[in-house]
Amino acid sequence: GAVVSQHPSRVICKSGTSVKIECRSLDFQATTMFWYRQFPKQSLMLMATSNEGSKATYEQGVEKDKFLINHASLTLSTLTVTSAHPEDSSFYICSARAGAVDTEAFFGQGTRLTVV
Contact status: 58 vs another protein (CB under 8 A) = no
Contact status: 43 vs another protein (CB under 8 A) = yes
Q: Which is nearer to another protein, 66 or 107 (CB)?
A: 107
Q: Which is nearer to another protein, 19 or 33 (CB)?
A: 33
The answer to whether the CB of 2 falls within 8 A of the CB of 27 is yes
Contact status: 35 vs another protein (CB under 8 A) = no
Contact status: 61 vs another protein (CB under 8 A) = no
Torsion angles phi and psi, residue 77, rounded to 5: -130, 145
Distance CA(82)–CA(84), nearest Å, equals: 5
Q: Which is nearer to another protein, 51 or 82 (CB)?
A: 51
Contact status: 89 vs another protein (CB under 8 A) = no
Contact status: 102 vs another protein (CB under 8 A) = yes
Where along the sequence are the contacts to another protein (CB under 8 A)?
1, 4, 6, 32, 34, 42-46, 49, 91, 93, 95, 97, 101-102, 104-110, 112
